[in-house]
A = this chain, B = another copy of it.
Amino acid sequence: MDLRHISFRLLEVFMSVVKTGSISETARRLHLTQPTVSLQIKRLQEAVGEPLLLIQQQKLHVTDAGLELFKTCQQVFGHFEDYEDFLTELNGGARGRCKIAMVNTAQYILPKLLGPYSNLHPHVELPLEIGNRAEVLDRFERGEDDIYVFSHPPSLEHAQAARFLHNPLEFIVPLNHPLANVKAVKLTDLMQYRFLLRENGSATRMLFESELQSRGLVLSDSVQMASNEAIRVAVASGMGIAVLSRHVLAKDDTSFKILNVTDAHLASHWYFVMRTDRHISHAARNFLKFAQQHVEQYLDTQWVRNELHNLHNLDLKLINIRC
């Protein structure tokens, strides 16, 4: 039996012949001519090396080998139907994987969207990668993930990005800090204090430092710390003051004080970023659609800046990835 050159079309034709018990009838149903069907069956028989149909008493008769092949075909087509169902789910975004890499700070925000999404589509795998800006940029370079989350979008080629959330920065000081109860302070007032900063390259730090530079200000003292959490706790315990994303600060957290800095309103935005040259999984596409429709619902409405519609010129790309 040599199936190499047997196509599924051929099996379809064969099955129809078995079902109708007639070559002519099959031809009519499949909009073919009778000789075509005759020939197809002949080819199939040659491939199988066994008679499948024969004529007895002027009637088409299915041999044992033919009947068994018919059953086999039923099974096979069943499997492909299952596969088609799988594809449908995949296309509907109900299944698959959406790999997301985000910078540290985003972990205060994104889970609010991921939670509801994951509940809606429990079969979608959502592996998350969290790293500092440099690490996430690396992953982007290598195209390891479907979606990247940055504040301060990287202006790389092959990148497309869209905002979804405002990202205001706040100055925080310990409760017992001299400025803690001052109603309005200026940026220059802060320069004399020790600043606790994230590592170089962090979007928050970049934003802050570029503001300082543009105003010709210089910090008198700074300490580098690896995480927002560490900085928040360090500030609360009096180690210094800091600039942190509003989203990092719980509303009811009274272990520090937020300053009202009247002459500096630092802010960036949170972006979903994707490579334009990579295939975008259905799950990823679907998650973005979900985000577009539900950011207002699941994130603080006052900060939402939903520009995700900009992304939806994503179309399915097949394998020719390198183009």
Q: Are B279 and A51 in contact, CB atoms less than 8 angstroms apart?
A: yes
The verdict on A7 contacting chain B, using a C-beta distance below 8 Å, is yes
Q: Which of B5, B79, B281 contacts A7 (CB 8 A)?
A: B5
Q: Given A144-B56, A279-B54, A83–B64 Cβ distance below 8 Å?
A: no
The verdict on A215 contacting chain B, using a C-beta distance below 8 Å, is no
Q: List chain B residues, Cβ under 8 A from A3.
A: 7-9, 80
Q: Given A6-B8, A8-B6, A72-B79, A318–B51 Cβ distance below 8 Å?
A: yes
Q: List chain B residues, Cβ under 8 A from A54.
A: 279, 319, 321
Q: Which of A1-25 contact B (CB under 8 A)?
A: 1, 3-9, 12
Q: List chain B residues, Cβ under 8 A from A135.
A: none
Please tell me which stretch of A84-92, A194-202, A242-250 contacts chain B, meaning at least 4 of its Cβ atoms lie within 8 angstroms of it.
A84-92
Kindly supply a per-residue 1/0 record for chain A positions 51-75, scoring 1 wherever the CB is within 8 Å of any chain B CB and 0 otherwise. 1111111000001110011001001
CA distance A284 to B319 in the complex (A): 53
Please tell me which stretch of A38-46, A155-163, A175-183, A224-232 contacts chain B, meaning at least 4 of its Cβ atoms lie within 8 angstroms of it.
A38-46
Return A136 CB to nearest CB of chain B, in Å: 16
Q: Which of B45, B63, B87 contacts A50 (CB 8 A)?
A: B87
Return A252 CB to nearest CB of chain B, in Å: 42
Q: Given A8-B6, A76-B79, A87-B50, A319–B57 Cβ distance below 8 Å?
A: no
Q: Are B319 and A64 in contact, CB atoms less than 8 angstroms apart?
A: no
26 A-B interface contacts by CB (under 8 A): A3-B7, A3-B8, A4-B7, A4-B9, A5-B8, A7-B7, A42-B318, A42-B319, A45-B318, A45-B319, A51-B317, A54-B279, A54-B321, A55-B321, A56-B142, A57-B142, A57-B143, A63-B279, A63-B281, A64-B97, A65-B86, A65-B90, A68-B83, A68-B86, A72-B80, A76-B80
Question: Which 6 A-B residue pairs are closest in the complex by CB-CB distance?
Answer: A4-B9, A3-B8, A72-B83, A7-B7, A75-B79, A76-B76
